Every structure is written in C-alpha cells, then in structure tokens.
Amino acid sequence: MTESGMWVEKYRPQRLSDVVNQTEIIGSLEALIKDPTDMPHLLFSGSAGVGKTTTALCVTRQILGEYAKDYTLELNASDERGIEMVREKVKKFTKMAGFADIPFKIVILDEADEMTGNAQTALRRIIEDAAENCRFILIANNVSKIIEPIQSRCATFKFTSVSEGDVTSRLDEIARKEGAKADKKGLKAIYDYSEGDLRHAINLMQATASLGAISDENVKSSAGLTKTSDVDKVLKIALSGRVTDAREKMIELIRVYGMSESDFLKYINAAAFKTKHDRLSDILEVIAKYDYRILSGANSEIQLSAMLAELANLEK
Ligand SMILES: Nc1ncnc2c1ncn2[C@@H]1O[C@H](COP(=O)(O)OP(=O)(O)OP(=O)(O)O)[C@@H](O)[C@H]1O
Ligand SMILES: [Mg+2]
C-alpha cells in the first residue's frame, strides 16, 4: 500500500485543533504560538502513536505558515550516524540565508532519547549555538532518558495514551468518511488491541475494513491474520538473505502495529515450522537463542535484528 493510501496518513491532523485527546497540551501550545517570539524549545514525550510527531508538525505549520517546508529541519536521532551528522546538518541549516518573514527556523529531532549521554551533551551545545535563530522540538518516548540540562532548557509536554472514548470516536469519524460499516463492539475491540495507540488503532481498522464490516469478529481475525501472515513474510525474506528488508518489515510490525517482541518470536517460531525448511533445527535454535537474550534484558530491537541477520546467513 502506498503511504497516501494509508488512513493514518490521510487522517493525520493538519492543525492543532484537530489533534484529539491531548487537550491540555494543545491548549498551552495554542497560547504559546500566539506570540511565538518568546517560544522556548519544546520537548514532547509519551508512548507510541499518541500524536507527538503530528503535534510537532502542526506547531511548525502554524508558526511558519507557507514557509514551513523550507524552514523546518526534520532529523531522526537514531537514524543519523552520530552527533557529528546532527551538528553538521543543524549548522548548515542555521546558516542558510533566510529572508522570509518568520520568527525563527525549527528543528524537529525525533527519537532524541535514543542518543547516548555524550551525544546529548553535545546536542545541548548545538542547541545553544543555534538558539539565536532556531527553536528545537525534541521528541522522546521516555523523557527520563533525556539528560537534565536539556530538559531544563525546554518546555516539556507529556503526551498520554489516547482514552477509549477518544479512540472510538476518532475511529467512528474515519469509518464514516470511508464509508465503512462499524459497530460499537468492533470499535471497542480495536481499542482493546491498541491500548491507547491511535496509530495502531487506525491501522487495525483499515486492515479490518478490507475484510468487511468493522465488527468484533472481523477485528479479531484481522488482528490475528495481519500478525501471523506478516511474520511469515519476515521469515521468508530473512531466509532469502535480505536482512535489511526483513528488518524493516519487522520494525514496522513492532512500531506501527504494536506487536510485542515476545509475540513476534512466538509467531516466527510457528512460521519456521510451516516452512518445512531443511535446516529447521538450526532456525529454531537461532530463535531460541535470541528469545533467551531478550528475556535476560538485552535490547530487543537490536537482538531481533541480529536474529534476522543470523537467519539470513544460514542460507550461505
Ligand atoms: N492525538 C491524536 N489525534 C489525532 N490523530 C492521532 C493522534 N495521535 C496519533 N494519531 C494518528 O496516528 C498517526 C501517528 O501519530 P504520530 O506520528 O503523531 O505518533 P507519535 O506519537 O509521534 O508516535 P511515535 O512515538 O511512534 O513516533 C497520525 O498520523 C494520526 O493519524
Ligand atoms: Mg513520532
């Protein structure tokens, strides 16, 4: 499916007033951007799929208007190779001549909590050096992983899980616009699976709609179907040697669809049996090894990536 075909993108709020649930935060931000000259740097924290990135984009759009595209720099802290890259990009960005009538340029730095302590210390300097004509919006899942000196330079906003009422009414609104039939029990079932992660909820509803009505029963089967058949695919891709593709798909399942790491392992174990692969015992051995490592507390995304790499190597 193309990105534009995805309901999460199609219904991503364009203005702060369209963001659901985070009312207190939205109220404060609306007040802040009335006179943006005094706006401090912002730090958004909270779990997945609750509107952090969306809100950051709305803030930039509402402050910079038609200039938003040219005067916003979006970086992903965990994607960029190290703090040097961040420094170089921010430096170039702040130096870029700006004649537009805007109060400042904006840097959005997503997944800031994935940066090491040292990198964050360097980031603090970068923020200070750029502060004259730049504001930062830092985004983190876990605010306690952000070093204190950065926290104290930002106005912090803690995003909460989206409440059941807000999830179901948003889903209902989208279903009506899409002409999908949805009943109360179906929407409640989606909420139960997604636990306040609105991105997951909307994705699950779209997957369900392709089966038919949004009923309790269809939600259950699409939740099960997407899960297991997608994990089957991840295993197939890994065994064909395409580690990067397999990892991307795995990360999508976990981050976008909210599959837990332990479920992923359970399903990939089941998928291994279905393949009737001639090295089945090696495959199972690999899965068991990483299951154990994750259980002992190692970083699960890193471990699962390594597991896919090891599965890909089996073929060679
Ligand atoms: N509060 C919200 N109001 C309206 N839509 C929302 C909200 N939160 C999430 N969504 C929907 O979910 C999608 C993803 O939201 P967003 O990218 O803002 O999540 P996030 O909090 O940044 O998550 P992550 O931590 O995974 O990056 C949006 O495109 C939108 O469709
Ligand atoms: Mg985000």
Name the residue at shortest CA distance from atom 27 of ligand 1: 48
Q: Please tell me the distance between residue 198's alpha carbon and the centre of ligand 1 in angstroms.
A: 6
State the CB neighbour count (10 A cutoff) for residue 24.
Answer: 11
d(C-alpha 314, C-alpha 188), whole Å: 43
8-state DSSP, 210: T
Q: Alpha helices, DSSP H only, in the chain?
A: 7-10, 23-34, 52-64, 82-95, 117-130, 148-151, 164-178, 184-194, 198-209, 216-239, 243-251, 261-275, 280-295, 300-314
Give pLDDT, residue 253: 86
C-alpha 143 – ligand 2 centre gap (Å): 14
**Alpha carbon of 208 to ligand 1 centroid (Å):** 19
The Å distance, Cα 258 to ligand 2 centre, comes to 14
Q: Which residue's CA lies nearest to atom 18 of ligand 1? A: 51
Write out the residues surrounding ion ligand 2, Cβ under 5 A: 53
Test site for ligand 1: of 9, 50, 254, most ligand atoms within 8 A of the Cβ: 50
Fold of 162-214: Helicase, Ruva Protein; domain 3 (1.10.8)
Which atom of ligand 1 approaches the CA of 57 most closely? 18
Strands 154-158 and 41-45: parallel
Give the CATH number of domain 3-158; options: 3.40.50.300, 2.60.120.10, 3.55.50.30, 3.20.20.60. 3.40.50.300
Tell me, what's the pLDDT at 260? 85
Ligand that lies nearest to the alpha carbon of residue 198, given by its number in the listed order: 1
Ligand closest to Cα of 206 equals: 1
Domain ranges of the chain: 3-158, 162-214, 218-316
Separation CA 232–CA 224 (nearest Å): 12
- With the most atoms of ligand 1 within 8 angstroms of its CB, the residue from 4, 7, 12 to mutate is 12
| pLDDT value at residue 211 | 87
CATH 3.40.50.720 fits domain 218-316:
no
Q: Which residues of the chain have a pLDDT value below 70?
A: 1-4, 80-81, 98-99
Ligand of minimum distance to the alpha carbon of 51: 1
User: Are the CB atoms for 108 and 75 separated by under 8 Å?
Assistant: yes
pTM: 0.78
SS3 242: coil
> What number of other Cβ atoms are within 10 A of residue 4's Cβ?
7
Q: State residue 4's pLDDT score.
A: 57
| Residue 228 token pair | 């297991």
How far apart are the CA of 73 and the centre of ligand 2, in A?
15
Residue 278 Cα to ligand 2 middle (Å): 41
Pick the ligand that lies closest to the CA of residue 257. 1
| Residue 115: closest CA among 93, 87, 147, 88 | 147
